[in-house]
Amino acid sequence: MRLALILLPLAAVAACATPREQCVNAAMRDSRVLSALITETEGNLARGYALKTETDIRTVSRSCQGRTSEGTTFRFPCDETVTVDRTVPVSIDLNAERAKLASLRERLATEQAAANAAVSQCIAIHPE
């Protein structure tokens, strides 16, 4: 979910971007995702647990308003379905999380080198 919240604004900006900016954004996409995962993993380690978003679906009874064909308003009971997101702690294996963080950092270093080469190619293909 967090990843979607990070990437959604980027997708909106990419729609208005020049071809060069679109190329650079595409080249940097994996690096941004890895950076977000690293940040999340570091947070998990700092807290000692992970956070998970759970969605609850509830039915809420309320009063609705209607209008007759003559124009008279009336109230009646009605139910509304509401979704509520809540964040809950989840236990994690701290050693596995540290190993995951090390792996993500290695992968990011490799990906950044590839992304830098791709950005250089974008600049060569789409000079401004």
pTM more than 0.85: no
Residues 97 and 44 reside in one and the same domain:
yes
Residues 127 and 105 reside in one and the same domain:
yes
Residues 103 and 84 reside in one and the same domain:
no
Q: What is the pLDDT along the chain (128 residues), one digit of tens a residue?
A: 565 566 666 566 556 788 888 998 999 999 999 999 999 999 999 999 999 999 999 999 999 999 999 989 999 999 999 999 999 999 999 999 999 999 999 999 999 999 999 888 888 888 87
Residues 39 and 1 reside in one and the same domain:
yes
Residues 100 and 125 reside in one and the same domain:
yes
Q: Which helix (H) or strand (E) holds 40?
A: helix 19-47
Closest by CA position to 100, among listed 17, 48, 41: 41
What is the number of domains present in the chain? 2
Residues 99 and 112 reside in one and the same domain:
yes
Q: What is the span of the domain harbouring residue 65? A: 50-90
CA distance 32 to 66: 50
Residues 99 and 127 reside in one and the same domain:
yes
